[in-house]
Amino acid sequence: MENKSLDAIRKEIDKVDRELTVLIQKRMDLVSEVAELKAQTGKDVLDKSREEKVIQNVISMVRNREYKDSVKAIFEYIMQCSREYQKKRIGRQNEKARYALIGEKLSHSISPQIHNELFVRTNIDASYETIEVPKAEISGVLNRLKNESYKGINVTIPYKTEIMGYLNTVSDVAARIGAVNTVKIGDFFEGYNTDYFGFGKALYYYGFDCKDKFCAVLGSGGASKAVAAYLEDKGAAKITIISRDPQAASLKFPKLECIKIDDFFASGYDLIVNATPVGMHPKTDFSPLSKEQLKGASFVMDLIYNPAETLLLKYADELSIPFANGLYMLVAQAVCSEEIWQGVTFGQDIINEIYEIFKK
């Protein structure tokens, strides 16, 4: 045998290790297929007689007796790793799918009840919960939830924009709005905005066609962007943004008229949409507009759903202006999120049914 340097021997070992790595990965691919079949047929992961035969066959091919114990130990460990991987794989297949709403403060959210009602009605084996996330933890939340087997999340205040920095892809609608409220968790993190579609389904439900209409949107945040984008896409004749700071709002909506809220009057507008949190529980004694400012509007929609009738909507009622709160939009955007996660399309009937339950 020729004398070899230590480096030369190590290079040969490295080459063998690379070849082994390729073969082990190929073996694990096959183990994965075995797991799929066992999951379908209900067979146990451990097949003792099969493992014993594998070990015997392997040892019979070892030419050097001194290596037999080592080779046996290596393959016994490979078999153990294969069993553990199969258990994980089968466990994930049989595990109930998990979904959640993340945000900073979520104690008053009814999203879990809405999604779980949909699961019952559609026979989907899944659960939905709320997860309050401190700002310091938002950067790692997606990877943490993926590791905990979550398949999707909704995102609410104050993370709809910030979460975009941690996504692999973002839908065209979400990119245009600059906010994501729905994330699909798989091999990649995919971002969507279902507020846009939920708002549209709500307008359809209430029989309001925004084409060629004069519309005013109160607020300039993420919800306002979704509303304004939908109104623009559906041919509204005029969209006005009403804000406490019209100069800042004009930077977000450069193509739209922005008016200071103190200077705004609704007379002549077909639709007023409140996309601010003003009037939301627990501060229910406030309204973004006074009763005098609201006079002359044709239809008022408040995206707030708690309370069911905000002070703004009470003003509308007293002025005999048709109005609606944000509950239908909340249900509709939730169903739109589930369509993304489940890869199916639900009819508007199921939105109506769930809405009627929570309306009561």
What's the rounded Cα separation, in Å, for the pair 180 and 189?
12
**DSSP per residue, 292-354:** HHHTT-S-EEES--SSSS-HHHHHHHHTT--EE-SHHHHHHHHHHHHHHHHT----HHHHHHH
What's the rounded Cα separation, in Å, for the pair 158 and 162?
8
Please give the helix or strand (H or E) that residue 131 lies within, else none. Answer: strand 126-132
Q: Which of 160, 184, 201, 213 is catalytic?
A: 160
Count of Cβ atoms closer than 10 Å to residue 107 Cβ = 6
Residue 160 is a catalytic residue: yes
What's the rounded Cα separation, in Å, for the pair 267 and 298?
8
Please give the helix or strand (H or E) that residue 220 lies within, else none. Answer: none
Cross-sheet strand order for the sheet of 300-302: 257-260, 238-243, 214-218, 271-274, 300-302, 323-324
Count of Cβ atoms closer than 10 Å to residue 11 Cβ = 12
Q: Which amino acid is at 349?
A: D
Q: Which amino acid is at 239?
A: I
C-alpha atoms less than 13 angstroms from C-alpha of 203 in its C-beta half-sphere: 21
Q: Which residues belong to the active site?
A: 160
